[in-house]
Structure 1
Amino acid sequence: MTEDDQAKIDFVWRWMTFGGAGADDIFTTFGLRPREFYTRTAAIAGQAARSARGDEPVLWRIEHHCTVNARHYP
């Protein structure tokens, strides 16, 4: 996992308690639109969780959160 990938995972984890980051926070931090950010981060979290042989429940939660949030943006 790259440093940028880890930064995305950490960002989502920090904001999950609040239902996710706002579009402005995502764009300001990563320069991505929310749908693109959440889609990419879901893929990163899912790949990391599969690499850990399913032993990473936090990563599965992050993948699910990102997948759900990506659907809310055009």
Structure 2
Amino acid sequence: MAYTRTDLEQLEAAIKSGTLSVQYADRRVQYQSLSELRAARREILAEIERAERPRRVRRVIRMTQTGQGFF
């Protein structure tokens, strides 16, 4: 499931208010404890950061040498 910033904001609001139930799009999740809410927040934040991180571009440069080499 791809999380959004809105999902993160809803989870943070639940943590601040002490509510253990959070609505994500079309489903409601009931957490057992505040520590589970915090773990879910860390997971969602990590996934969002991975998705927003720029992709690395790898380039391969092949060099060949012809002739006698260096003088």
TM-score category by the smaller chain? Answer: 0.3 to 0.5
Using CA pairs below 8 Å that are at least 6 residues apart, which structure has the higher relative contact order? 1
Which structure dedicates a bigger proportion of its chain to helix?
A: 1
TM-score by length of 2: 0.43
TM, length-normalised to structure 1 = 0.42
Larger radius of gyration: 2
